[in-house]
C-alpha cells in the first residue's frame, strides 16, 4: 500500500485515491497477491478460495466442520495460509484482509461451489426462479439474506442441490423445503424468521447435521424426526410460537449440547425422552407460557449447567429429580408466578452459582441453597427475612431482595444487598438505613406513588429506577455521580432535584417541556453546531427532548448521535439503551458523550436521532461534564 501512494504528496490526493484502492484491486497490488497465491499447492489454493468466499471472520472449529470432507488437514492448511500472511488467526477466529478476500472471490467466481448474496457481483441483481439451482449440482454453500436489495427470491422452489453443507436462508418464503431435497450432507441449516411450517416428510438421513436454527419461524409446527441426528449439537427453536411439542426422537440426539425453546408460547410439554440427551448442557425454556410441567426424566440430563424456566407462567411445580443435576451452575425461575412452596429441598446443589427467583410471588420462605451461591435474586417474592447464615456466604456478590418492614430484622445482611426493590405504594419515605447498604448498586422504587423524598443514597449506587413516582419532589443527595436514573413521569420533581439529576447523573430521563438553560449549546431540532477550543479533548453531556409524531409506541428509548467534523462523520450509540428506558412524550434524556477525542475540534456538528421513527427530536443540547473547566 505504501508503494501505491508513492509520489502522492498531499492529503487530498490520498483521499481521492482511497475509494479506488478499496473498490478494486489495482494491477500492481493484484500481481503481488497473485504471486503469493500461485506459490500455494492446489489444496491450499482451494482453502484460500473457501475462506475468501464464505468463511472470512469465522470460528476455526466451524470451518473445520464444513471442510473436513474436502481437505486432508484443514488446521494445517490454515497454518500455511497464516504463515504466508494470507490470513491471520485471532483467538480462534479466521481473519482475511478485504483486498485479499476480494481477490479470492474473483478467482472463486470461476467455479461456483457456493453462493453468498452478500458478495454477489452479478450486474443488475441476482434473480432466482423456482428452478434456479437445478444446474448447480456441486453447490455446497448457500447463504441468502431476506433483505439484500439485489436478490430477488422465488415464492416457490422445486430443487435444492443434494451436496449442500450449509443452508443459510434468512426469511425463507416457502412452507417447506422441496420434496426431493436430501439433507444427507448438511452440517448446518440456518433459517431464522422463515415461513416454514415443516422441513420435510419422513425420516431423513441427517447424520452430518450439527446445528439447526429456526429462531422466530412463527409458523413452524413440526420439528423433523431426529432419530438419525446423532451428531446434532445445537437446536434453536426460540420464538417458534406455533410449536406445540418436540418429537420423542429428540432423545436420539445423544450429542445435543444446547436446546433453545424460549418464547415457544404454544409448547405444552417437553418429551420425557429429553432425559436420554445426556450431553445436554444448556436448556432454555424461558417464556414458554403454556408449559405446565417438566418431565421427571429431566433429572437424567446430569450434564446440564444452565436451566432457564423464566416466564413459564403456567408451571406449578418442579420435579424432585431436579436435585440430580449436580453440575447445574445457573437456574432461572424468574416470573414463574404459579410456582408454589415448597421448592424441592434438593435444589440445594453444591454446584449452583446463580439462582433467580425474582417475581415468584408465591414464595415466602428463603430457599435452601448452598453457601457457594454467587448471584441470588429474590425481588418480587414474599420473602421477608434473610437467614443469619448468609453472612458466611463468602462467594455472594449479587443479592436482590424485596423491601418490607420486616427487612429491618435482617440488618446483618445489609452490607450484602446489591439490589433493592421497593414496591410498597403506601411508603412515603425511605429511612436513613439505606445508607447502611454499602454495596447497593441498583435501587428500584418504581410505582411508589406516595413517596415524596429520597434520602442520601449510598456512594456505591449505579442505577436508580424511579418511574411513576408521582409524588416524588425531593432528592436529599448532594450528588448522583456515576448513576443512571429513570425519573419518567415524576412530574412533581422540584427544580433543585431536576438540576441535580441533569448536572450529576451519568445518564437519565426526567420530565421536561423545554431544553434547560444549563446546556451551553442548544438548538431547535436534531442538529447543533458546537465551537470548541481546537486543542484539548472536551468531556460533554448531551440532552434531547423528544416528542411523539404518530401515536403510541412500546419501543424502548435508543438515542444515536453523529459527530461531523470536516470530512469525517462518526455515528455513536448513547448509553441510554443499556437500561431499557421507555420512550416518553415531553421528557428529557441526558447522556455522556463518550467519544471525547472527536469533540476537541474548532467546530463540530452534532446530529441526534431516535431509533423509533414515531418519535422525533424537538430540541437538543450539549454541555460540559460537571466540574470541567473549559476555556473558549
Among 64-73, 127-136, 140-149, whose mean pLDDT is lowest?
127-136
Task: Categorize the per-residue pLDDT at 534 as very low, low, confident or very high, splitting at 50, 70 and 90.
Answer: low
d(CA 441, CA 416): 11
Mean pLDDT of 595-624: 77
C-alpha grid cell, residue 319: 420435579
- Residue 293 in contact with residue 268, Cβ under 8 Å? no
Is the per-residue pLDDT at 346 higher than 80? no
Task: Tell me the per-residue pLDDT of 2-42, one tens digit each, with 9 for 90 and over.
Answer: 555 555 555 555 555 555 555 554 556 667 777 778 888 88
Please name the helix (run of DSSP H) or strand (run of DSSP E) that holds residue 617, with its range, or none. strand 615-624
Among 104-113, 230-239, 279-288, whose mean pLDDT is lowest?
104-113
Mean pLDDT of 203-232: 92
Write 493-497 long-range contacts (CB < 8 A, 24+): 497/472, 497/473
Q: What is the pLDDT of residue 12?
A: 56
Q: What is the pLDDT of residue 457?
A: 93
Cβ–Cβ contacts within 10 Å for residue 156, how many? 10
Mean pLDDT of 267-296: 94
Query: Which of the residue ranges 94-98, 148-152, 202-206 has the most confident prediction, judged by mean pLDDT?
Result: 94-98
Mean pLDDT of 69-88: 86
Length of the chain: 632
C-alpha grid cell, residue 49: 478460495
Share of the chain above pLDDT 70, in %: 83
d(CA 219, CA 194): 8
Is the per-residue pLDDT at 483 higher than 80? yes
Mean pLDDT of 181-198: 92
Three-class DSSP category at 189: strand
- Residue 75 in contact with residue 101, Cβ under 8 Å? no
Mean pLDDT of 70-98: 87
Domains and CATH numbers, the chain: 11-108 (1.10.10.10), 512-624 (2.60.120)
- Residue 582 in contact with residue 595, Cβ under 8 Å? no
Stated pTM of the model = 0.79
d(CA 285, CA 572): 34
Q: Angle formed by the axes of helices 98-108 and 42-53, to 10°?
A: 110
Task: Categorize the per-residue pLDDT at 111 as very low, low, confident or very high, splitting at 50, 70 and 90.
Answer: low
Task: Categorize the per-residue pLDDT at 454 as very low, low, confident or very high, splitting at 50, 70 and 90.
Answer: very high
Three-class DSSP category at 17: helix
Average pLDDT, the chain: 83
Task: Categorize the per-residue pLDDT at 124 as very low, low, confident or very high, splitting at 50, 70 and 90.
Answer: very low
Task: Categorize the per-residue pLDDT at 568 as very low, low, confident or very high, splitting at 50, 70 and 90.
Answer: low
Selection from 290, 293, 282 nearest residue 260 by Cα: 282
Is the per-residue pLDDT at 438 higher than 60? yes
Is the per-residue pLDDT at 632 higher than 60? no
Task: Categorize the per-residue pLDDT at 295 as very low, low, confident or very high, splitting at 50, 70 and 90.
Answer: very high
Q: What is the dihedral of CA 489, 490, 495, 496, to 10 degrees?
A: -140
The b-or-e profile of 72-86 (16+ CB within 10 A means b, else e) is eebeebbebbeeeeb
C-alpha grid cell, residue 59: 470460528
Amino acid at each position: 500500500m505504501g508503494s501505491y501512494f508513492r509520489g502522492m504528496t498531499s492529503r487530498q490526493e490520498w483521499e481521492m485515491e482511497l475509494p479506488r484502492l478499496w473498490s478494486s484491486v489495482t494491477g500492481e497490488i493484484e500481481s503481488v497477491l497473485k504471486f503469493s497465491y500461485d506459490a500455494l499447492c492446489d489444496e491450499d489454493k482451494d482453502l484460500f478460495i473457501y475462506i475468501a468466499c464464505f468463511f472470512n471472520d469465522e470460528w476455526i472449529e466451524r470451518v473445520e466442520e464444513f471442510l473436513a470432507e474436502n481437505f486432508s488437514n484443514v488446521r494445517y492448511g490454515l497454518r500455511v495460509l497464516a504463515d504466508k500472511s494470507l490470513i491471520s488467526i485471532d483467538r480462534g477466529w479466521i481473519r482475511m484482509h478485504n483486498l485479499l478476500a476480494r481477490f479470492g472471490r474473483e478467482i472463486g467466481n470461476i467455479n461456483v461451489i457456493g453462493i453468498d448474496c452478500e458478495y454477489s457481483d452479478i450486474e443488475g441483481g441476482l434473480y432466482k426462479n423456482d428452478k434456479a439451482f437445478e444446474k448447480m449440482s456441486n453447490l455446497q454453500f448457500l447463504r441468502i439474506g431476506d433483505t439484500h436489495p439485489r436478490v430477488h427470491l422465488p415464492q416457490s422452489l422445486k430443487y435444492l442441490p443434494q451436496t449442500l453443507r450449509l443452508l443459510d436462508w434468512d426469511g425463507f418464503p416457502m412452507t417447506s423445503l422441496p420434496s426431493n431435497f436430501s439433507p444427507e450432507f448438511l452440517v448446518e441449516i440456518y433459517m431464522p424468521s422463515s415461513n416454514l411450517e415443516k422441513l420435510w416428510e419422513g425420516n431423513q438421513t441427517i447424520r452430518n447435521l450439527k446445528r439447526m436454527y429456526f429462531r422466530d419461524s412463527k409458523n413452524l409446527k413440526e420439528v423433523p424426526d431426529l432419530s438419525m441426528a446423532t451428531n446434532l449439537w445445537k437446536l434453536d427453536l426460540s420464538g417458534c410460537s406455533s410449536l406445540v411439542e418436540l418429537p420423542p426422537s429428540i432423545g436420539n440426539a445423544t450429542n445435543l449440547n444446547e436446546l433453545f425453546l424460549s418464547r415457544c408460547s404454544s409448547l405444552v410439554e417437553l418429551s420425557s425422552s429429553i432425559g436420554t440427551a445426556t450431553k445436554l448442557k444448556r436448556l432454555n425454556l424461558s417464556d414458554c407460557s403454556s408449559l405446565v410441567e417438566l418431565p421427571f426424566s429431566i433429572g437424567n440430563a446430569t450434564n446440564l449447567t444452565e436451566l432457564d424456566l423464566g416466564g413459564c407462567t403456567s408451571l406449578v411445580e418442579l420435579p424432585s429429580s431436579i436435585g440430580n443435576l449436580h453440575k447445574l451452575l445457573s437456574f432461572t425461575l424468574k416470573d414463574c408466578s404459579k410456582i408454589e412452596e415448597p421448592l424441592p429441598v434438593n435444589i440445594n446443589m453444591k454446584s449452583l452459582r446463580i439462582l433467580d427467583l425474582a417475581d415468584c410471588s408465591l414464595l415466602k420462605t428463603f430457599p435452601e441453597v448452598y453457601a457457594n451461591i454467587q448471584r441470588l435474586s429474590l425481588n418480587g417474592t414474599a420473602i421477608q427475612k434473610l437467614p443469619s447464615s448468609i453472612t458466611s456466604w463468602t462467594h455472594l456478590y449479587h443479592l436482590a431482595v424485596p423491601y418490607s418492614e420486616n427487612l429491618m430484622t435482617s440488618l446483618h445482611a445489609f452490607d450484602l444487598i446489591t439490589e433493592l426493590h421497593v414496591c410498597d405504594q403506601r411508603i412515603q419515605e425511605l429511612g436513613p438505613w439505606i445508607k447502611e447498604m454499602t454495596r447497593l448498586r441498583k435501587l428500584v422504587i418504581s410505582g411508589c406513588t406516595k413517596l415524596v423524598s429520597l434520602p442520601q443514597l449510598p456512594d456505591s449506587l449505579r442505577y436508580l429506577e424511579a418511574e411513576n413516582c408521582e409524588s416524588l419532589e425531593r432528592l436529599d443527595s448532594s450528588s448522583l455521580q456515576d448513576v443512571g436514573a429513570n425519573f419518567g413521569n415524576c412530574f412533581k420533581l422540584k427544580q433543585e432535584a431536576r438540576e441535580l439529576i441533569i448536572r450529576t447523573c451519568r445518564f437519565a430521563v426526567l420530565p421536561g417541556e423545554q431544553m434547560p438553560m444549563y446546556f451551553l449549546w442548544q438548538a431547535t431540532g436534531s442538529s447543533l453546531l458546537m465551537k470548541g477550543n481546537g486543542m484539548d479533548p472536551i468531556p460533554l453531556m448531551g440532552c434531547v427532548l423528544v416528542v411523539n409524531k404518530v401515536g403510541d409506541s412500546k419501543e424502548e428509548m435508543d438515542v444515536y448521535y453523529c459527530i461531523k467534523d470536516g470530512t469525517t462523520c462518526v455515528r455513536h450509540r448513547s448509553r441510554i439503551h443499556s437500561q431499557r428506558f421507555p420512550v416518553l412524550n415531553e421528557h428529557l434524556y441526558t447522556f455522556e458523550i463518550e467519544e471525547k477525542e472527536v469533540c476537541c475540534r474548532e467546530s463540530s456538528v452534532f446530529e441526534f436521532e431516535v431509533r423509533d421513527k414515531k418519535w422525533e427530536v424537538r430540541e437538543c443540547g450539549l454541555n460540559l461534564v460537571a466540574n470541567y473547566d473549559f476555556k473558549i
